[in-house]
Copies of this chain bind each other. A is one copy, B any other.
Amino acid sequence: MREHDPEKLVARIPLFATLEPEARKPLANLIRVRRYSAREVVVWEGETGGTLFLSLTGYFKAITTGSDGKEMLLSVMGPGEVFGELSVLDGQPRSASVVTLEPGELASLERPALFELMATSPRLAIGLIEVLAQRVRTLTKRYETISTLDVPQRLAQVLVSLAQKHGQHEGSRVRIPVRLSQQDLGSMVGATRESVNKQLRKWTESGVLHRETGCVVISDFPALRAASAT
């Protein structure tokens, strides 16, 4: 995003889009923008921190690391999305780490500034509650999925939702413009790198999708969608 006028940046973030215009001006002065390089850690799980992040460009992953060192990928966040609201709102330690998947830019807002804004702008509070509510719904669904479906179904489901959330249409094809390793995909569906690889190969062979420099391109979206349900 070459745009560096804070006020214009703010208008692009859905959370702030519905904000009263007169509330946007002060906001613009409170955010700070920073560029992150690939694989940089934005927040560490377990840390206490009161910063809210707003993704401007690039993709980020939220991960938790289990006691045995295994990494679980909780969500992939792209431009316009907000994260870090949990710790800001309840003051508890960060529930996950966030790492850049590729270079990108983030705007950040500190807790005191956020609370000040919320006091004058109830819509912001409502927006944040909606973000939180959405997280609960997404997590509930993922939880249900992981304990009900088998690996191919789970993988199909993840690809479908990645495509819906971040996909770029190229004719009848849909490109998922996020550089996710097979390891990453595995840790999204609770499977090993190997299992992901094998399933991906099957789909590649049957022409459902193909890989391009670290990205997945879906050729036959309906087929994938069909594979995600029973």
Contacts and interface: CB of A to CB of B under 8 A. Distances in A.
B144 A72 contact: yes
A27 to B, nearest CB: 20
* Residues of A contacting B: mostly: helix
Nearest to A90: B133
Interface stretch (A30-38, A62-70, A202-210): A62-70
Most buried by B among A64, A95, A129, A133: A133
Given A67-B229, A146-B147, A136 B135 contact: yes
Most buried by B among A132, A135, A146, A229: A132
Interface of A: 64, 66-68, 70, 72, 74, 86, 89-90, 92, 95-96, 125, 128-130, 132-137, 139-140, 142-144, 146-148, 190, 229-230
